[in-house]
Structure 1
C-alpha cells in the first residue's frame, strides 16, 4: 500500500497532514479520527440524488435555508417517526399534567447483537435503567390513581430487553419477533387505586413528563443510526412510533431497525512520513521490511467487514508496531474512512509520521541500596548507539526480574524526539531483603514427609555472590546443600559452586550415601541455558543388612543444555523443553576396576493444545553410561526409573539393575509418557482431569531393558506456583495401584 517516493509526494497533496484536498467535498461524513478508541461522534449522512453515489467525506455539512431545501428522494436508508398529536389546548395540557407522569413501555425490534447495543446506549432505554436505579423504595399509603408503581423485567427469549420505564409495573414479556429479530419489550400496567405508591421529591429523576418522553422518542432514530453505523450498517431502515395515551393502558414507544447489508473495506492506503519514509526511499532493508510488515499485518484488510471498533483497533495495532520497532514517537498525522453508502464499501486512508529513529543512550539505575549497579548492567544485550527495540527492553526487564535480587523492576526510555539519537534508558528497581530464611513442611509420594530450612544471602560478605543453604530431613531423603552463584558478569555469564551431602533410603531399604562438589559457569540466553562444570562425586550403597553393594568415586567434566520454548514456564500448554547433558569422566572404585567412562542424558517434553479444550503432554527420556563392564561407576551417575516424573504405577527409583534382591542404578534408561487433560468444570477452569500412559525401564544393558507400563487417571489444579497433580496409576507389570502427587513441572 505504500507508494514510491514520487507517488507518495503526490498523495500528500490529497491525504497529507493538512487534508486540504478533502475540505470541499460532499457532506455525507462518516468518520475522521486520530488514534483512540470508543464510539466517536458520526456526522449525519445526507442522502444522494437518484443514481448518484452517497459518499462519506471529511467535512461538516452546512445547513441550507428552509426555502432552498431539496425535495425528498428515496434512498436505501430511511427513517420514519410517528408521534401522537400533542393536546391542542392549554386546558387539555393541564388535564394531562393532572393525570401525573405517563405510563409507558419501550419495544426495540432489531437483530442480535444490535438489539443489545441499542438497549445499552440509546437514551430512551438508558433513561429507564437510570430511573429504575434512582426510584425510591419508601412508600406512603393512600389512594392515587395518577401515580403508578415502577418495576421492570427482561424478556427471557431475547437478550436485548430494555429496562422498564418509570412509573410502571411489569406484567409479561414478549417473545422474539419472527425472522430472528429479538423484540425488546416489557408489558406494563398501571397501579390500582388504594395501593402503596412511592414518595417522590422535586428532583426525582424517575419522573418523566410527556414532553420529555416525546423528545426522547423523536431523538431515538438519529441516535440509533449513529450507533448502528458504527457497526458498519449505512442503509438501515429505522422506524419509531409512540402510541396514543389511553386510560388504563401504557403508551408504547416502539423502535424497529432493519439494518440492511454491512459495509466492507474496498481499499486501504497507507502512507509514511518522517525518517521511515526517508529510509524506505533509500532502500534501507530494515525500513523496507518494516513497511511491508505494517502493510501485511494491517488488521482491517480489503474485503473485511467495516466496523468502527475494528477501524480503531487496526490503527492502534499498526501504531504500536511502529513504535515498538524503533520509532517510539510515531503518530498518525491523518486518518480517514470514506464510505460509499450506496455500494456499501469503505476506503481507508492512514498517514503515519514515524518521527525520528531512536538509538539507545546512557543507562541509569535507580533504587539501589545494597546491590551493585553491574548486576543490572551486565544482563543488557544492547549497547549505546544501537537501534532501539521495545522487545529488547522487555526482555531486559524480564532478565533483571529473574536475578532474584529485586522485588519490582521497571525499564523505560525517554521518547522525546529531541534525544532520539541517544535516548536515556532508566531502570527503576526495588530490592528484595538482603537475607531471607524459609521453613517448610512437605510430603511427596516419592520420598515421603519432610521438613526443610533454607537460608538465602543475596550479597555474601559484601561480594557480588548469592549463597543458598538448605537443610532437609525426610523419611526417605535427607540432604545438606550449599549453592554459591555469582551475579551476572559481562556477557550474561555466572560462576557456580555447589556442595551436597545426601542420604537416600529406597523401597528395598537399601541406603545410598553420596557427596558432590561442583564448580562451573552458567551462560544464559533467552531460550537456552548452557552450563559447563567439573564435578567430583562419591556414592556408597549398602543393603538393609549393612552389606556393601557399591562404593565408587568419579571426576567428570560435563556440558549441559537446557532449552525452553513454551508459553509459560509455570503452567505450559504449548511448546517444547529439552534437557541434554553429556561429558566424559574417570572412575575410582573400591569394589570394581577404575577406568574412563562417558555419560549422556536427554529429556524432551512437548506441550500441544488439542480440539475440544484438550491438552496433550508427550515426554521422552533416555540415558546411557559407556564404560567397560568391570569399571565401577558411582550409583548417582547411573539411572533408575519409576515415580511421579518417570513411570507412574511404580515406586520411586524401583526400576533398575536388580542384584541380590536390591535395585541399583543401570547404565541404560528409556522412558516415555503420553497424557491428555482438559478442564472439568466451566466454573472452575483451573481444575483439570487427565488420563495417561507411561512406559519405561532402566537396566545394566540396552538388551536388558523391558518396558514396564503404567496407566491411570488424575486431576490437576493449575495454581500460581505450578500444577498440583494427584494421580491414581496402575502398574501393569506388578498388578498394583499406586497414588502419586506432586507440584510443578520437571524440565
Structure 2
C-alpha cells in the first residue's frame, strides 16, 4: 500500500531525469567497414553529427544511432550495395534492441559494423518512353554499378526530355526496382506518362504595383501558342529581371493544363525600390582624389524606364592641377520594338585636364541596345561631341558626329568581385570632323578573364586594353579621344598619366594605347584578401598597330576587405620599367581594380 504522504512527483521526476537528462561522457564512434564505403557511412551518420555538436544526453545519442540504420542503408544503396548487413552497438548492446525505457546511463563507445555484401550491377536499366534526343546518364546501362542515384538521375533526364518537347505535365507513372541477390543484379524499369504536348495559354502577372502590366507583357514578349519549354520560361524570367525594376521574378506553369491543350504561365514579381542614391571615391598618391555620386529612378513613367544623374569630381595632387568634373544624365526605356531591345539617350558636360591641355566637352548620345544572348549584347546609335580644347597656348574647337557600334560579352556572376568568367567590350566609332577636327575612327577594347582555384581561395585575373585613333592627325581630334598611361586603371606604381608623347617638352596624349594587368588574389579569411599584381602600359604616336611608342610598368601588393557593396581596396606599387617613375605609389578605393 502507498502511504498517506505519497507524492507522485517524488517518483516520476527522478525517473524522467534519469531517462532524458543522463550525461553521456567519453563518447567515441567506431566504424568498421571496407575503405571504399567508410567515408560515405561516416558522412551520412547522425551519430557523428551529434557527437561533433557535443550532445550531452544519452537519450539523444541513442535516438541518433537508431536513425542511422536507415541512413546507412541509403548510403549503401547509393554505392550499389543492396544486400548489406548493418550492426550498431552502444557499449556492446545492439541499438535496435534497446527499449525506449532502457536508455543507458552512460555512453562510451558507439560501434558500427557493416558487411556490404557484393556490388550490384544493373541487369535491366530502362526508362520508357523516351523523347527524341534524350540523353540518359552513361552509367545507367546493363553491366554498370547500380548506384541508386543513377535511377533518379535517369528519371529526371527523361522527364526533362519530354518537357523540352512541350510536354509540361510529364510525370513518372510507375517504377519497378527488383534486386536479384543470386546474381547481384538490379533490374530497373521506370515508366512515364508524357501527357499531351502543350502550348502557352494565358499570361497571368501578379505582384506589380507601379509598373504597368502591359509594359511587363512587352518586356516578356509573350506569344500565346508558343510551344511550352523550360527554356522559354527561363527567357521570360531573364527578360523581366534584366530591367532592374524588380527585386525578383518567379515564372512557372499552371498546375493544371487547359482542356484545349494550352497551359497558362504565371509570373509573380516583387518591385525593387524605385529610387537609389550612391556615392564613391578613390585616393591615389599621384592620381589625387576622385569623388562620384549618382541618383536614379527605376520606374519613371510606369514602364520600368530608368532615369539617372551622375556627378564626378577629381583633382590631382600637384599644386597647379585643375579640377576635373562630369555632370550627366541618361534615360533608358526597355523593350522598345522588341523584348530584348532598349532605347537609350544621354547628355553630359565635362572637363578633362593634364599638364599639356584643358578640354571642355559636351556630348550627346542616342541609340539602341539589343541583347543577342543571355551574355552578349550589342549597341549602336549616333554621338555628337563638341569640345573647346586649350593645347597651351594653342586653342581649338572640335565638332565630331559619328555612329558608335559596340559588342559586350559578360558571363561573370559577380561584377564587383568576379571569381570566374569573362568580360569583353569592343567599340568602333567612325566619325566626321568639323571646325578643327579631322575625319577618322576610334577603336577601344577592354577584355578581362577570371579563374579561381582551391575552392575559390585563389583567383587569377587578367586584363588587356587596347585603344587607337585612325586617320586623324594628333591635334586634329579632341584630347579626350586620345590616350595617356599611368596610375590606377592603367599602370599602378607609375605617376598618374605620366606616359604619353612629347609635346613641346610636356607629356601629350598619344593616338594609341595597349595595356596589360595581371593579378593573383588570395583569400586569407572570409573577409580579408591579399593581392599581388603587375601592370604594363604602352603609348604610341600614330595608331597602335603601326606607330612608334614608349612603355612603362609597375608591380605591387594589396589588401582587400569585403563589404556588402564590394571589397575595399588598398594597393601599394612601385615602378618596374620605363623612365616615368616617381617612387612608391598607393591607391585606396572601393571595388577590385578590374
TM-score range, shorter chain: 0.7 to 0.9
- In structure 2, distance between residues paired with 1:497 and 1:719: 33
Structure 2 contact 207–268 (Cα < 8 Å) conserved: yes
Q: Aligned pair in 2 of structure 1 residues 494, 350: CA closer, same or farther (>3 Å)?
A: same
- In structure 2, distance between residues paired with 1:222 and 1:532: 62
Partner of 1:94: none
Tell me which of 113, 128, 142 is aligned to 1:271: 128
Partner of 1:376: 216
Structure 2 contact 359–389 (Cα < 8 Å) conserved: yes
Deviations 1:289-334 (A, max 9, x none): 2x2x2x2x46755565444455445544553564466333121112
Structure 1 contact 687–716 (Cα < 8 Å) conserved: yes
Q: What's the Cα RMSD here?
A: 4.3
Partner of 2:444: 601
Partner of 2:539: 698
Q: 1:722 deviation in Å? A: 4.3
Which secondary structure state, in structure 2, belongs to the residue aligned with residue 394 of structure 1? Answer: helix
Deviations 1:674-709 (A, max 9, x none): 33333334xx2x544332222222232243222322
State the aligned residue count.
541
- In structure 1, distance between residues paired with 2:405 and 2:81: 64
Q: 1:375 deviation in Å? A: 2.9
- In structure 1, distance between residues paired with 2:71 and 2:446: 63
Partner of 1:339: 179
- In structure 2, distance between residues paired with 1:437 and 1:109: 57
Deviations 1:117-145 (A, max 9, x none): 685279xx989x9994488xxxxxxxxxx
Q: Aligned pair in 2 of structure 1 residues 542, 230: CA closer, same or farther (>3 Å)?
A: closer
- In structure 1, distance between residues paired with 2:71 and 2:548: 80
Which secondary structure state, in structure 2, belongs to the residue aligned with residue 535 of structure 1? Answer: strand
514-523 or 549-558, which moves further after superposition? 549-558
Q: Aligned pair in 2 of structure 1 residues 569, 353: CA closer, same or farther (>3 Å)?
A: farther
Could you state the TM-score of these two structures normalised by the residue count of structure 1? Answer: 0.62
Structure 2 contact 492–555 (Cα < 8 Å) conserved: yes
Partner of 1:481: 328
Partner of 1:455: 295
Which secondary structure state, in structure 2, belongs to the residue aligned with residue 391 of structure 1? Answer: helix
Tell me, yes or no, if structure 1 residue 256 matches structure 2 residue 113: yes
Tell me, yes or no, if structure 1 residue 430 matches structure 2 residue 287: no
Which secondary structure state, in structure 2, belongs to the residue aligned with residue 595 of structure 1? Answer: coil
Q: 1:271 deviation in Å? A: 0.8
Deviations 1:240-279 (A, max 9, x none): 78869xxx9999886533334433445421211xxxx6xx
Which secondary structure state, in structure 2, belongs to the residue aligned with residue 588 of structure 1? Answer: strand
Tell me, yes or no, if structure 1 residue 624 matches structure 2 residue 468: yes
Q: 1:345 deviation in Å? A: 3.3
Structure 2 contact 31–42 (Cα < 8 Å) conserved: no
Structure 1 contact 668–700 (Cα < 8 Å) conserved: yes
Structure with greater proportional strand content: 2
Gaps of at least 5 residues in structure 1 are 1-96, 136-161, 166-204, 206-215, 278-286
Structure 1 contact 300–314 (Cα < 8 Å) conserved: yes
- In structure 1, distance between residues paired with 2:414 and 2:465: 21
Which secondary structure state, in structure 2, belongs to the residue aligned with residue 393 of structure 1? Answer: helix
Tell me, yes or no, if structure 1 residue 582 matches structure 2 residue 582: no
Could you state the TM-score of these two structures normalised by the residue count of structure 2? Answer: 0.77
- In structure 2, distance between residues paired with 1:698 and 1:632: 18
Partner of 1:524: 371
- In structure 2, distance between residues paired with 1:453 and 1:709: 31
Tell me which of 495, 510, 513 is aligned to 1:669: 513
Q: 1:499 deviation in Å? A: 1.0
